[in-house]
Amino acid sequence: MKKKFLALFLSMTLAFSMTACGGSSDGNSSQKTADSDKAAIQDKGKLVVGVTDFEPMDYKDDSGDWIGFDADMAKAFAKELGVDAEFMEIDWDNKILELDGETIDCVWNGMTLTDEVTSAMDCSNAYCNNAQIVIVPAKDADKYQDEESIKDLNFAVEAGSAGAEQAKEHGLKYTEVASQANALMEVAAGTSDAAIIDSLMAAAMVGEGTSYADLTYTVELNSEEYGVGFRKGSDLKDELNAFLKKSYDDGSMKEIAEKYGVQVALSEQK
């Protein structure tokens, strides 16, 4: 009888212990869910920004530091939050995975607000206007002035980019490469007939006085807007929207834009 009572007592004790542990686990989970992204980055002291090499938005200077319109705006936003901005170069095709995996806190890299992006991320208000345009050798520009004339070209596009989406949408032949910068290199090297890149990048990198003086841009395939992406449910989106309006109103956004020659593309913040 004593043995049966002891077994029952031990069983009840174990059940109570497991219930208590389960309650503790649920409590920790709830606490983690309750914590905001803003609180998390302030706790670690840095905002980790996912970027690619994309002049004039995010690129490295001679010292290896990230600069550009987006980079400088990200630094200013981080400062507003009382933290530092840390830049992590990512594979653009994996931007959503990087964000959901919490290796980065946001994607801030001239990101077009496509349906795919807005369904997978909480995105800021648009802050810049842009377009996807065709890049060809300057000597061949006269041949490629409309959509019909480019249909037989072999294009280089950044994997997972708005340029890749436009190539698909227009039924063009294309090869995906790691970045828009690599797409330009393909055309310059003659391994691709043309590229599709952002108009803001083209203005900074293509044509007379640039790194690619022998290339030019011709056909504009669409019009679009840039935004910054955060994880679903992130409170950083509202924080950034407030910051964008503040910096637009006080002129600091325009000042940074003028530094990189993108002021004409700015979207009014309401």
Tell me the pLDDT tens digit for each residue of 48-79: 999 999 999 999 999 999 999 999 999 999 99
The answer on 217 and 139 residing in a single domain is yes
The answer on 235 and 164 residing in a single domain is no
Tokens 């990200």, residue located: 74
Q: Per-residue pLDDT averaged across 29-42, rounded?
A: 69
The answer on 239 and 112 residing in a single domain is yes
Listed in sequence order, the residues at least 6 apart from 185 whose beta carbon sits closer than 8 Å to its beta carbon are none
The answer on 242 and 119 residing in a single domain is yes
The answer on 123 and 58 residing in a single domain is yes
pLDDT of res. 75? 98
For residues 82 and 72, what is the distance between their CA atoms, to the nearest angstrom?
15
Tokens 């599709």, residue located: 196
The answer on 217 and 136 residing in a single domain is yes
203 falls within a domain: yes
Query: What whole-number percentage of the chain has pLDDT above 70?
Result: 87
Residue 35: pLDDT band with limits 50, 70, 90: confident
12 falls within a domain: no
Closest CA to 221 of 154, 144, 138: 144
Helix axes 236-249, 69-81, angle to 10 degrees: 110
Asked whether residue 23 carries a pLDDT value surpassing 90, the answer given is no
28 falls within a domain: no
75 falls within a domain: yes
13 falls within a domain: no
The answer on 158 and 77 residing in a single domain is no
Determine the structural domain holding residue 98 and report its residue range: 41-129+225-265
**What DSSP state is assigned to residue 113?**
-
Asked whether residue 16 carries a pLDDT value surpassing 90, the answer given is no
2 falls within a domain: no
pLDDT of res. 3? 45
DSSP letters spanning 222-266: --EEEEEEE-TT-THHHHHHHHHHHHHHTTHHHHHHHHHT-GGGB
pLDDT of res. 34? 45
Residue 119: pLDDT band with limits 50, 70, 90: very high
Counting the structural domains of the chain, the total is: 2
246 falls within a domain: yes
Q: Per-residue pLDDT averaged across 95-118, rounded?
A: 96
The answer on 176 and 233 residing in a single domain is no
The answer on 115 and 62 residing in a single domain is yes
The answer on 229 and 208 residing in a single domain is no
Q: Per-residue pLDDT averaged across 166-186, rounded?
A: 97
Asked whether residue 8 carries a pLDDT value surpassing 50, the answer given is no
Closest CA to 236 of 122, 94, 83: 122
Q: Are 50 and 106 in contact (CB under 8 A)?
A: yes
4 falls within a domain: no
The answer on 258 and 217 residing in a single domain is no
The answer on 93 and 116 residing in a single domain is yes
Residue 217 belongs to domain with CATH number? 3.40.190.10
